[in-house]
Amino acid sequence: MRSKNKYKALVTLSALSCASLAFGADTNSATLEQLQQQVNKLQAQVTALKTQQSNTSSKAQKESAQAETPAPAGLSGIYGYIPGFSNSVVIQPFINKPTYYSGGQLVVNAPGINEDEKLLYRRYLNEAQLQANGQPQPTTPRLVLSGDVEGKAFYTRPYHGPRTTDLNLTGAELDAFAEISKWVNGFATFEYDNSFNTAGTRRVSNSNIRLGKGFLTLGNLAESPVFGSLGQMNVPFGRYSSFMISDPLTQTLAKTKARALSLSYIAWNPATNIITPYAHAFGFKGDAKYGNSNMVNQYGGDLGFWLGNNDTWNMDSGVSYIADMADAAGMQETGRTDVAFQGFDQTGSNEKMIRGVPGFDWHNTFTYNKYNVVMEYVTAMTSFSPLNATYNGRGAKPSAANLEGAYNFTLFTLPTYFAAGVQGSKDALVFNVPRVRYIAALSSTVLTNTVLTLEYRHDVNYGSHDTATGAGAIAYNTAELGKSDNAAIAKIGVYF
């Protein structure tokens, strides 16, 4: 219709112009003036139509460009693509598995410590990007979904027994982060569990779904450096970062999941995205009991600092404390079924501790350009009572350390890294932890949000004359002592 009007106006303008020329000599000045006014009016209408059409086209191009605005260059390595959106349900990158690096930022197997902090920080970045694009902030609750699916192929030659090969679905997770209001957030993960199911012997029967983590968070990093969370989470004791497929020995020994209350402080500079000092405190009612078992008996904290300029270098260093290490997942369940002691969670009597065993952790990561180093040391600060855990006839005082280095590079245009490390433990035979581990991995982002990792692992067990008991029961297989274990693993994972 607008196009018709434009052509009609042009035809009328031409006709009036001709009339003006043909009869100009015989027409009085009043008539000429009237015709000229009509010509000017029609010319103004044509100009307005052209301007309106041009503005409509420019607006459409601008809206299209805003909808495809990528993350700032220095942030895309961690947070991936940040879309211009204000929808109620959106997809964001999986929080614990960035699939691209930018400068010094590298793919790291993060075990999900301080997830509330990561989620709040990412929410801040998303809202800052919306503001930069001139788009409105969401006014209704928003649900952010992410997740992963992982499969493995592996070959193992254990300490004792036949060699094995396998193909398996080893991980699948759906995460939901609810941005409920300016200060209120909720987070839940639903995880696939392939552990043995007594309902059937077929492998496909081992497909349980469970709540991995679930907590609510009160906080807004744009308004306050203090925030708190309540629910099921990995408490902030240690970090356990690794470039490998296999969990580091520090994580096997000390990572602790609980239904806890945490309070955090993080000082940061939003202008440069540099986070500096941080502090975390937590408390929960543990499964391991000593003293009054009806009270909240577990507490701890984490102090440290993060500094750097994101793309060239950065460092994260801190220390952690927990009142009793006996609630660590690797001490509650050792993963063994062929020995008498399988963890403190095996029976109610095993959970009765003579005394608490506090734990200490030091963690440090450092990145400079393409070079990356991870260091961590975790230890019990006192020995377990011999009635709870022993090593060579005395109360065990378990500890573990991890040292890894990685170099990231581009392989056929694909972001890639090679990593190698050495790990070790002391007094940890009772918890089924190797004495020494040598490990290496090659990992590459082969497709968008798709990571392929190859790993070789060599474990050395405790010596043939070592002994260990838990709750008075034998915790090892004598045929495995003094032996080594080898494994080759290939893992492919998609992260969304």
The whole-angstrom separation of Cα 302 and Cα 278 is 8
- Residue 485 phi/psi, 5° resolution? -130, 140
Are the C-beta atoms of residues 388 and 326 closer than 8 Å to each other? yes
How do 389-391 and 468-470 pair as beta strands? Answer: antiparallel
* Residue 206 resides in a domain: yes
The whole-angstrom separation of Cα 355 and Cα 20 is 109
* Residue 76 resides in a domain: no
Residues of the chain where predicted confidence (pLDDT) is lower than 70: 1-88, 90-111, 197-201, 269-275, 291-292, 310-311
Helices assigned H by DSSP within 68-114 = 76-79
Cα torsion angle, 370, 103, 119, 442, sign:
negative
* 459 token code pair: 């474990």
Q: What pLDDT shows up at residue 323?
A: 97
Burial of 171 (0-12, 13-18, 19+ CB in 10 A): middle
Q: What pLDDT shows up at residue 310?
A: 64
Q: What pLDDT shows up at residue 270?
A: 58
pLDDT in tens, 229-262: 999 999 999 999 999 999 999 999 999 999 999 9
The whole-angstrom separation of Cα 350 and Cα 45 is 89
Q: How many domains does the chain have?
A: 1
Are the C-beta atoms of residues 129 and 82 closer than 8 Å to each other? yes
State the CB neighbour count (10 A cutoff) for residue 50.
11
* Residue 339 resides in a domain: yes
* Residue 66 resides in a domain: no
Q: Which domain holds residue 430?
A: 89-495
Q: What pLDDT shows up at residue 244?
A: 95
Q: What pLDDT shows up at residue 37?
A: 60
* Residue 325 resides in a domain: yes
The whole-angstrom separation of Cα 451 and Cα 100 is 9
* Residue 50 resides in a domain: no
* Residue 9 resides in a domain: no
- pTM for this model (two decimals): 0.79
Q: What pLDDT shows up at residue 276?
A: 82
CATH of the domain at 219: 2.40.160.10
Task: Give the residue among 383, 381, 395, 400 at the shortest CA–CA distance from 459.
Answer: 400
Helices assigned H by DSSP within 1-114 = 2-22, 29-67, 76-79
For residue 212, give Cα distances in angstroms to 112, 193, 209, 215, 259.
11, 10, 9, 10, 11
User: Which residue type occupies 329?
Assistant: A
* Residue 12 resides in a domain: no
Find all residues with CB under 8 Å of 159, minimum gap 6, and list them. 459, 461, 477, 479, 480, 483, 484, 485
